[in-house]
Amino acid sequence: MQEVVHIPSARPQGTRKRRLLGFVSLEEVLGSLGGVAPTHVLRARGVSRWEIDQGVDGERITRVRRGVLALHDAAPELVTAVREHARLSCVSAASYYDLWRIREPQEVHLSRTDGVDTACVNHRTRSVPVHPRLPLVGLADVLVHVLQCRPEEESAPIVECALRRGHTVPSFLEARLPGRRNGKARSALAKVDCTADSAVEVVARLILTGAGLDVRSQVPIPGVGRVDFLVENFLVVEVDGAAYHSDRQALQRDLRRNNTTIIGGYALLRFTYEDVIFHPEELLAQVLQVLGRRPVR
């Protein structure tokens, strides 16, 4: 009788471990990590060298550099972060935490304790644990870096979104902004009052309060409901999104609301996202023009 010889398979032995983590393929493991990861992280999650070589040779994945692999559709900023041995931070990381942002960043913002690619902005300090899965710094560090780095019309919406959702509290952030060099960051933080429902409302509030006007947010008016802003107790300012009339009924409700506001003795101005973000001077000029004509009561 011929002896049966069992030849060990070259296929990896990490499949069971990977399935215990809820993944099946190399692509799924990479996807769970943001689409890009060092090979040692993949190995720790049950992916073998054999599978990695098969993925690269079969052009299912890309070798970014030695020791770093990525899916073909991985976000460029995440690829940059891992390639630079860094973590995304500031405005570059805000969207991954689902925070409000008024515009796309022009540069990649990273956090690494030493130098990075000169095309990137580096935020070296960290005070909380990093994201457990994606190449991001912790949320509190994202907010601190945003306050230190960006103008208040960019930083305030991001921070206000996080505070409204209860992710942190102002005192926790302020404790990480000591000294005179952080005076501008603390000033921006002080202007976050958690009354806005969107990023564009935060920017509109900054424009109005920055002109020294008395501004109250989310004010209830009888017969009208809550309005975005009541300025100098006379002018109602509403900020509309790109598609605030979903159908004709919504349009009719808005028109009745406008009429009721004016009948109630208030002036009314409505502005779009484009007005607030791209034409703030014109917006403010119109507000001041209306306030200049208010009757003496």
Contact between residue 63 and residue 54 where contact means Cβ atoms under 8 Å apart: no
Q: What is the mean pLDDT of residues 21-38?
A: 87
- Residue 186, beta-bridge partner list: none
249 vs 109, higher pLDDT: 109
Distance of CA 154 to the CA centre of its chain: 10
CA angle at residue 77 from 188 to 176, to 5 degrees? 30
Size of the chain in residues: 297
| Distance from C-alpha of 82 to C-alpha of 77, rounded to nearest angstrom | 9
pLDDT confidence of residue 257: 83
| Distance from C-alpha of 46 to C-alpha of 264, rounded to nearest angstrom | 67
Q: pLDDT-derived band of residue 260, with 50, 70 and 90 as boundaries?
A: confident
Residue located via tokens 């990381």:
93
Q: pLDDT-derived band of residue 118, with 50, 70 and 90 as boundaries?
A: confident
Among 29-38, 196-205, 242-251, 266-275, the minimum mean pLDDT is found in 242-251
Q: pLDDT-derived band of residue 241, with 50, 70 and 90 as boundaries?
A: low
Among 15-24, 64-73, 140-149, the minimum mean pLDDT is found in 15-24
| Distance from C-alpha of 105 to C-alpha of 101, rounded to nearest angstrom | 9
Per residue in 124-169, pLDDT (tens digit) is: 999 999 999 999 999 999 999 999 999 999 999 999 999 999 999 9
pLDDT over 90 (residue 236): yes
Per residue in 161-192, pLDDT (tens digit) is: 999 999 999 999 999 999 999 999 999 999 99
pLDDT confidence of residue 232: 96
Record the pTM.
0.86
pLDDT confidence of residue 255: 80
- CATH code for 199-292? 3.40.960.10
pLDDT confidence of residue 259: 84
Domain-wise residue ranges, the chain: 15-74, 80-190, 199-292
Q: pLDDT-derived band of residue 266, with 50, 70 and 90 as boundaries?
A: very high
Q: Could you give the C-alpha distances from 139 to 32, 146, 212, in angstroms and in order? A: 19, 11, 32
Mean pLDDT over each residue of the chain, to the nearest integer = 89
Q: Which residues of 119-153 are buried (b: 16+ CB within 10 A; e: fewer)?
A: ebbbbeebeeeebeebbbbbbbbbbbbbbbbbebb
